[in-house]
Amino acid sequence: MKYFFDTSVLVAAVLAQHVHHEASLAAYLKADKHHAGCAAHSLAEVYATLTRLPGRHRVECEAALLLLDEIRKRMAVVTLDEQDYYGAISSAAMEGITGGTIYDALLAHCALKSNTATIYTWNVEHFRRLGPAVAQRVRTP
């Protein structure tokens, strides 16, 4: 796989008011199932983010599902099994990763599992902490 999209880029791609919308959308529109993917967990994170936005920016549940359908049509969705999860958590622990950064580690593990060349994220520093195999792949759109 050539490109892997983390949640921060997917959210920015679908929210016109997001500061990184244009760059994220441009990368997203170039994606196809043969060359781009995201983690299954990112679907839940995108849904959670969109449906909890403040005030008029909040996306209704049905609209959020439609956006997730579009992501699924455009990208391969990479899953982890029990062994993958434990391996990702163990690796993160060895790198001293704590707290919510474990979710970035899970996304990065999906990217490595799919042999991704480039991981697109707006959380570059979080991903660079996940070891050299991840750090060398991290880019912003």
Percent of the chain with pLDDT over 70: 100
Condensed to tens digits (0 to 9), the pLDDT of residues 21-76 reads 999 999 999 999 999 999 999 999 999 999 999 998 899 999 999 999 999 999 99
Longest dimension (CA), the chain: 42
Rounded to two decimals, what is the model's pTM?
0.94
* Cα–Cα distances in angstroms (integers) from residue 126 to residues 114, 131, 135, in the given order: 20, 10, 9
Compute the CA torsion angle 128, 79, 37, 73 (nearest 10 deg).
-150
Domains, the chain: 3-139 (3.40.50.1010)
Interval 104-135: pLDDT, tens: 999 999 999 999 999 999 999 999 999 999 99
By DSSP bridging, strand 118-120 and strand 3-5 are parallel
Q: How far apart are the first and last CA of the chain?
A: 16
pLDDT for the residue numbered 99: 95
How far out from the chain centre does Cα 117 lie?
14
Average pLDDT, the chain: 96
Contact 57, 64 (CB under 8 A): no
